[in-house]
Structure 1
Amino acid sequence: MSRVMVGVDVGTTSTKALLFDPSGVVLGRKHVEYPLYTPTTAVAEQDPDQIFQAVVDAVGGVLKENKVHPESVQFVAFSAAMHSLLAVDRAGYPLTRSITWADNRSAEAARWIQEAGDGHTLYQRTGTPIHAMSPLSKLVWMKRSMPDIWARAYRFISLKEYVFHRLFGQYVVDHSIASATGLFHLYQLDWDEEALALAGVEREQLSKLVPTTHVLTGCHPKWAQQLGILPTTPFVIGASDGVLSNLGVAAIDPGVVALTIGTSGAIRTVTDQPSTDPKGRTFCYVLTPDHWVLGGPVNNGGVVLRWIRDEWMKEEAAQAKAEGKDPYERLMEMAGRIPAGSDGLLFHPYLMGERAPLWNADARGSFFGLGMHHTKEHLLRAAMEGVLFNLYQVFLALCEHTGEPKRIHATGGFARSALWRQMLADMFGMEVRVPEQVESSCLGAVVLGMKATGMADSFHLVKEWIGTTHFIRPDPKCSRLYEELMPIFIRVSRKYEEEYQAIAAFQRRHAPTEKRD
């Protein structure tokens, strides 16, 4: 086999490894799932060793299954989810599980940060809204809630840093992952001294900052063998999944918006310099010094559909599997029987609190408008629509900050579904473009890797790589229904704000005792 490149995306519920040839053709893929530990409504953790093994299995698996010789691997480039945090001791051993973006235990710490100083000014320097998702908030919470672990901690790192430390014995963090911590100064490309002081950490307890094009070699021989590469194979540290998704879907020009729904979801656009929202509703993260990604993330994307599959529709999922079908295809068939608007049923999809547009870790999910005429299929369709209603609110905030977009490029696992794609076009009332290659973060990582290793001069080659683009036009009748329902959806979530706090407080008081495996 000729020279190949590997793109790896370390996500919240799975790690994917895609194998590319030098012309951008996908030669193979490997997907390894793992659980998200959620013993209470506030906790969302992962086992870092389990995920490290998933990275080894995904990369090693895709190379082995495609009979790739170690010397044929040009490079391995990485994408990873943002906002994770774990404490490690001096030997690099985890003292905690990896606390994910979806963990809400630091909600009170986020409120304290807002009150202790000028939270908005801090946001304007770091580009990360003050919220429980942020490692800044997690550090404040950890210091108060886990004093024994805090005292033993040698470093505080992300899951991606943990993977690279095990592979190379180095603590390094790229500017992109760092810019999502709430600890990184956007304009100085360095750790922010005031944020460090608020968090109570020293520079030496964080990793060395490097650009997203940073290349590492010298992988530990044991892991190189299991990965199926040479110890000298270059590893490109890469960036976060969000900014690489924009790159992978060719949404890097002004006026182009990328919408992604994976486990979570986001809407993002690219500018040539850092910029923050006067109202503090959007993030600003680094791709390169010339590419800055602005947008808003939502906690509740595909995870809502996964919850429905696993908790409501086990029988349907099991029957689909027995017939050799994808359970999600069965769900799409069921939802497709229901008209747009779900006959007046709305779902607020806040199963894991919410980031944009509410920035409220206490938000909770609910059905509104439920009547005797609604069926299980209605609940399913309304849940899917609720995810998109919520993203549309984020879209409105982004438009207010950056102006009306020229077009929308959609990607993520949901983009495989014709129903989701049509619902998206109808909800947003504009044409949506969906590239054939939907694993945009892996593709973005490889394009970044090509730039890092001198194989490409610019990112624009991605436009030649994304394959056939599907153009989905809105159905005017459906768009009018969604326009009528949208104000109701927004008003209900605002009226529930006090009640979100009350029910979340009740849940915390009466939560089951948390058990650590």
Structure 2
Amino acid sequence: MAKYLLSHDIGTSADKATLFTFDGTILRSRLESYPVHYFNANWAEQDAEDWWKAFCKNNHAILEGLDPAEVAAISLSGQMMGCLPLDRDCKPIRPSIIWTDGRATKEAAALEEKVRLQSFYNIVGIRPSANFTIEKVMWLMEHEPGTYEKTYKFMQSKDFIGARLTGSFVTDPSDAGYTHAYDMYGRCWSEVIFKAAGADVEKFPDIVEPGTLIGKVRASVAEEAGLAPGTPVAEGVGDGRASMIGIGVLRPGDAYTSLGTSSWVSRITDAPGMDPRCRIQKGAFTPGTYSDGGTMQAGGLSVNWMKSQLCLYEQELAKTGGGSAYDYINKEIESCPAGAGGVIFLPYLMGERAPLWDNGAKGAFLGLRGESTRAEMLRAVMEGVSMNLTIILKIMQGIKDDMTSMRIVGGGSKSAVWRQILADCFNMPIVKTNISDEAGSLGTAVLAGICVGVYQDLGAVHAFHKVESVTEPIKENVARYRQLQPIFEDAYYALREINHRLGEL
């Protein structure tokens, strides 16, 4: 008898497998890591076979001692914006060019010249950028034409695993939207974009709705994959959309922020309006509703950088005194008042997507004085990420101001001081639930459950949430950040030319 729902997230650094019971209880969870290959300054690739090996290893481990036939269904989420060329047998022709890769700058510029920024944005909901799929396909057409010719389908991480399991080459609207070749209002591949790119739409997969049965685990791969032959496989969503579903952001006005390696603010809206300056992204959600949001490249990554480079003392304390280095870092930051003594951190360690769309942007500490403290520098890092996310939030409010609170997910959600900084910068309550760390996994599992009739619709996710904390904004801190916010925003523009000149070195 079926008892379990199995979800996988093919992330940038690891595959995360989570086994749920039907009532949303996490029975087991496991990570299996794999490398990213960085080179040529801003190139980044991964071997898709590493994803598959991690997926299989996780299944064997997580189902040890259990009957794999008791898995009712499996669904997947994963990193988005990749470019993985596959042949008809679902074998990778070359490594996947992943989301952080910025090599296709000339192709992004060429695409914008052919379609024009506003027209492109009104079709896709995101402005042209080297980080997205169709621009990377254009790069392959120019630099590796043999690869392009051999390609049967260009796929995303989760859909590669789904195709390997079932033989079905499909994707969903969320991953399609982040290829930069999807018409979000027509909910189909865009003839205009494919014509401008010079690419063949036949090399992209069919688009199906999340929760759709795409096939069953084939006997030929079942043993290797650690799954029972015939296990239903449901189409999933990209990692960002999985978190949105899992955290329960489903209705107009619902909003959340994610503090992972990249960080974002997103909400559901019934307003079809667009940002006239094309700074954030818009995508199709359900018929009549849309997702507004913006993703910055180095949110949690900036804090991880801070820990590794500025917090050796806290790392040693964690080794000798127990706990996490972040416990000690948070205490240090709490000792420093809002505003970090006038020290500002620009969190542009990997260039920037929203709201700047500038691969040449760079990080910086500003306002340092002889009396500046390390605590101020640490706090400035969290504040810099938060103020950048505030820009995105303000743009969304300009389209429709319907958000009254903000849910939070991701590793950074564990930090009470960071939740307070966000509440103060956003001037909005920050709500943490018991699902904050597992939102993506839960969202994907719910899709698996919908596929086989365990759940009726996405609203089933609400039954699994319990509010753990609500962080209210502090009036005095809100006023302080309102003073700092325009200075933070102006600092990027003051340094833009200098940073581009540094990049040329």
**TM-score of the pair, normalised by structure 1:** 0.91
Separation in 2, partners of 1:504, 1:313: 27
Separation in 2, partners of 1:422, 1:341: 13
Aligned to 2:21: 21
Residue 217 of structure 1 aligns to a residue in which SS? strand
Separation in 2, partners of 1:197, 1:503: 36
Aligned to 1:472: 471
| Alignment partner of 1:355 out of 333, 353, 356 | 353
Name the CA shift for 1:55/1:291 in 2 (closer, same or farther; >3 Å).
farther
Report the more deviating stretch, 333-342 or 360-369.
Answer: 333-342
Aligned to 1:185: 183
Report the more deviating stretch, 282-291 or 210-219.
Answer: 282-291
Tell me the alpha carbon deviations over residues 115-135 of structure 1, each in whole angstroms, 9 at most, x when there is no partner. 223232122112232112221
Name the CA shift for 1:185/1:169 in 2 (closer, same or farther; >3 Å).
same
Aligned to 1:78: 76
Separation in 1, partners of 2:172, 2:324: 36
Aligned to 1:238: 236
Residue 499 of structure 1 aligns to a residue in which SS? helix
Report the more deviating stretch, 224-233 or 313-322.
Answer: 313-322
Name the CA shift for 1:236/1:409 in 2 (closer, same or farther; >3 Å).
same
How far did 1:498 drift?
2.4
Determine if contact 1:260/1:412 at 8 Å carries over to the other structure. Answer: yes
Residue 359 of structure 1 aligns to a residue in which SS? coil
Residue 63 of structure 2 aligns to a residue in which SS? helix
How far did 1:293 drift?
1.6
How far did 1:290 drift?
5.2
Report the more deviating stretch, 207-216 or 293-302.
Answer: 207-216
How far did 1:447 drift?
2.1
Tell me the alpha carbon deviations over residues 172-223 of structure 1, each in whole angstroms, 9 at most, x when there is no partner. 1122211111111223322111211222221221112222122133324464
How far did 1:319 drift?
5.3
The AA in structure 2 aligned to 1:242 is G
Separation in 2, partners of 1:148, 1:225: 34
Name the CA shift for 1:454/1:283 in 2 (closer, same or farther; >3 Å).
same
Residue 76 of structure 1 aligns to a residue in which SS? strand
Gaps of 5+ in 1: 507-517
How far did 1:2 drift?
7.0
How far did 1:482 drift?
1.5
Determine if contact 2:138/2:199 at 8 Å carries over to the other structure. Answer: no
Aligned to 1:42: 42
Aligned to 1:12: 12
How far did 1:350 drift?
0.7
The AA in structure 2 aligned to 1:136 is I
Aligned to 1:514: none
Determine if contact 1:8/1:59 at 8 Å carries over to the other structure. Answer: no
Counting only pairs closer than 5 Å after superposition, residues 304-453 of structure 1 correspond to structure 2 as 304-313=302-311, 316-317=314-315, 320-321=318-319, 323-438=321-436, 439-453=438-452
| Alignment partner of 1:94 out of 92, 95, 102 | 92
Name the CA shift for 1:312/1:150 in 2 (closer, same or farther; >3 Å).
farther
Are 2:90 and 1:111 aligned? no
Residue 43 of structure 2 aligns to a residue in which SS? coil
Report the more deviating stretch, 314-323 or 41-50.
Answer: 314-323
Determine if contact 2:263/2:297 at 8 Å carries over to the other structure. Answer: yes
Report the more deviating stretch, 309-318 or 446-455.
Answer: 309-318
How far did 1:481 drift?
2.0
The AA in structure 1 aligned to 2:55 is V
How far did 1:486 drift?
0.9
Tell me the alpha carbon deviations over residues 335-367 of structure 1, each in whole angstroms, 9 at most, x when there is no partner. 333332221111111111111111112111111
The AA in structure 2 aligned to 1:343 is G
Aligned to 1:512: none
The AA in structure 1 aligned to 2:277 is K
The AA in structure 2 aligned to 1:480 is A
Determine if contact 1:89/1:95 at 8 Å carries over to the other structure. Answer: yes
Report the more deviating stretch, 405-414 or 90-99.
Answer: 90-99
Separation in 2, partners of 1:275, 1:241: 24
Name the CA shift for 1:387/1:34 in 2 (closer, same or farther; >3 Å).
farther
Determine if contact 1:69/1:228 at 8 Å carries over to the other structure. Answer: no
Aligned to 2:201: 203
Name the CA shift for 1:377/1:31 in 2 (closer, same or farther; >3 Å).
farther
**Shift >4 Å, 4+ stretches:** 272-275, 321-324
Residue 398 of structure 2 aligns to a residue in which SS? helix
Report the more deviating stretch, 465-474 or 388-397.
Answer: 465-474
Determine if contact 2:56/2:226 at 8 Å carries over to the other structure. Answer: no
How far did 1:239 drift?
0.9
Residue 496 of structure 1 aligns to a residue in which SS? helix
Gaps of 5+ in 2: none
Determine if contact 1:186/1:274 at 8 Å carries over to the other structure. Answer: no
Determine if contact 1:275/1:284 at 8 Å carries over to the other structure. Answer: no
Separation in 2, partners of 1:330, 1:120: 47
Separation in 1, partners of 2:504, 2:402: 39
The AA in structure 2 aligned to 1:479 is V
Separation in 2, partners of 1:329, 1:98: 36
The AA in structure 2 aligned to 1:43 is W
The AA in structure 1 aligned to 2:304 is R
Determine if contact 1:267/1:296 at 8 Å carries over to the other structure. Answer: yes
How far did 1:299 drift?
0.9
Aligned to 1:284: 282
How far did 1:297 drift?
1.2
Separation in 2, partners of 1:275, 1:17: 37
Name the CA shift for 1:68/1:423 in 2 (closer, same or farther; >3 Å).
farther
The AA in structure 1 aligned to 2:327 is E
Counting only pairs closer than 5 Å after superposition, residues 43-58 of structure 1 correspond to structure 2 as 43-58=43-58
The AA in structure 2 aligned to 1:218 is K
Report the more deviating stretch, 270-279 or 257-266.
Answer: 270-279
Separation in 1, partners of 2:414, 2:60: 26
Name the CA shift for 1:242/1:73 in 2 (closer, same or farther; >3 Å).
same
Separation in 2, partners of 1:359, 1:468: 35
**TM-score of the pair, normalised by structure 2:** 0.93
How far did 1:314 drift?
5.0
Aligned to 2:156: 158
Separation in 1, partners of 2:33, 2:119: 39
How far did 1:235 drift?
1.4
Separation in 2, partners of 1:285, 1:20: 29
Name the CA shift for 1:54/1:311 in 2 (closer, same or farther; >3 Å).
farther
Name the CA shift for 1:14/1:419 in 2 (closer, same or farther; >3 Å).
farther
Aligned to 1:482: 481
Determine if contact 1:48/1:98 at 8 Å carries over to the other structure. Answer: yes
For these two proteins, the number of residue pairs brought into alignment is: 504
Residue 435 of structure 2 aligns to a residue in which SS? coil
